[in-house]
Amino acid sequence: MENGGLVGFLDSGVGGTSVLALAERLLPGQPFLYLGDQKNNPYGEKGEQDIRRLVFEGLEHLLDCGAKALVLACNTATACAVDQARQRLPVPIIGMEPAIRPARQLAGDKPIAVLATPATLSLPRFDKLLAENGGQAYRVPCPGLVRMVEGGAQQGEMAQYVAGRLADCVPSGVVPGALVLGCTHFCFAREAISQAAPGVPLVDGNAGTVRQLARVLQKNGLLGKGGQTRVESTGDLAQERQLADMLARARRSLARPR
């Protein structure tokens, strides 16, 4: 195919646009279609069966649109449905998981803390991930943070929320060696999380996911050129515009000198 294979991205809302922006940067010209299931977010407060049903509905829509590879740009969706999706669907599927390994490497002998949705932290897939990487890890469920990012909350308000969650979940006096952003929405709250935990490195799984996507596309002859990015929402037009705005924000963040 001249333009390569269309890559479909699925997330419960705006969070996965942070992954999409990096994919655009590392795979220029690849055609992308992003579906934000804003009508049904947040996923992380739902039951496993409901999440799995919504994920399959979204993935099947992307396949109907011609996707040749799929990215679950959502840690909760991956934890609930990636194994079943790989068994049932006829295209390569890339999932996202909390970046425990790089966080452990940064933290050394110190514990880490994992900020994620209640669903992600409670599923067996997360337990397995912790067991594989060893060391001490504190689970910090942050259900309200997804809603705050979707609602456009200010960084100061989010910082106060995160500080409260850390105080509830990490013993007093313990400073983690790294914080894992185990939800793509939390990439849009980096400033707030840094305010709540000054000096602690933040680690997300975006780069690893995009590198795996690149490998899969190359292996399957789906690398593209001259393609474009489209975004769709299961919500209303205002929510679809929000997706486009957050994608633009993620692009600007990547372009900013670090």
Higher-confidence residue of 255 and 243: namely 243
pLDDT (tens digit per residue) in 198-249: 999 999 999 999 999 999 999 999 998 888 999 999 999 999 999 999 999 9
- pLDDT (0 to 100) of residue 155: 94
3 pLDDT higher than 70: no
- pLDDT (0 to 100) of residue 254: 85
Cα–Cα nearest to 147, from 126, 117, 173: 117
pLDDT (tens digit per residue) in 51-94: 999 999 999 999 999 999 999 999 999 999 999 999 999 999 99
What is the spatial distance between Cα 33 and Cα 6, in angstroms, rounded to a whole number? 7
- pLDDT bucket at 17, cuts 50 / 70 / 90: very high
Q: What percent of the chain has pLDDT over 70?
A: 97
- pLDDT (0 to 100) of residue 20: 97
Higher-confidence residue of 257 and 82: namely 82
| Mean predicted lDDT score pLDDT of the chain | 93
What is the spatial distance between Cα 116 and Cα 138, in angstroms, rounded to a whole number? 11
Given a contact cutoff of 8 angstroms between Cβ atoms, the answer to whether 85 and 96 are in contact is no
pLDDT (tens digit per residue) in 109-167: 999 999 999 999 999 999 999 999 888 999 999 989 999 999 999 999 999 999 999 99
What is the spatial distance between Cα 101 and Cα 122, in angstroms, rounded to a whole number? 19
- pLDDT (0 to 100) of residue 226: 83
Sheet strands side by side (includes 137-141): 137-141, 112-116, 178-181, 202-203
257 pLDDT higher than 70: no
- pLDDT (0 to 100) of residue 89: 96
1 pLDDT higher than 50: no
Q: Which residues of 63-102 are buried (b: 16+ CB within 10 A; e: fewer)?
A: beeebbbbbbbbbbbbbbbbeebeeebebbbbbbbbbbbb
What is the spatial distance between Cα 141 and Cα 162, in angstroms, rounded to a whole number? 10
- pLDDT (0 to 100) of residue 258: 53
Give the dihedral of Cα atoms 258, 95, 185, 66; nearest 10 deg: 100
Residue tagged active-site, from 80, 142, 183, 187: 183
Residue tagged active-site, from 65, 74, 142, 169: 74
183 is catalytic: yes
The whole model's pTM is what? Answer: 0.92
Give the tokens for residue 26: 């590392």
12 pLDDT higher than 50: yes
pLDDT (tens digit per residue) in 121-132: 999 999 999 999
